[in-house]
Chains A and B, each alone.
Chain A
């Protein structure tokens, strides 16, 4: 069974530029999560989708971050404009349903200069 796929794996941008990350969850998984992990910290949930509906986006900085999961399968997370403090690893995870075991992708390491 294929795991959670993410791209790109690495991205370096200048501050104020925009960037987008892509995630393809495990086939059949209804729930998709985006996390931000800053070095030395645990992952922080940014947004959680159930199919193509948002379940929780309470920690998403909505002035600069946006995410969509239009067809209930893959998802895109965008940052516009990026700030230095956005430098982190962005992790995508999926699960069969809302409270079930999560499976993570390899992450995208973002460096903002």
Chain B
């Protein structure tokens, strides 16, 4: 699976949109981009995933560049409860496990 690069930490003001970047320049055509988050010491929580097209659900939006070498997770109206470590993971077709990196520690400030 392709490696991902994320900033180690980010801050965002409450109520604003949080935009978390992820680079995956070696991604191949059949690899999905997944986002998970871990709030404090809870179990990781699935947020969203996509292959080529942008995706949106009740939690977030995922914007994947046309060349697929990078993506951005958008939390449209961040709240204090969105403070967590966010993981961007690339998972290939047939890959049976998710490999977590260090993620981005997002802090939402009041």
Is B truly associated with A?
Answer: no
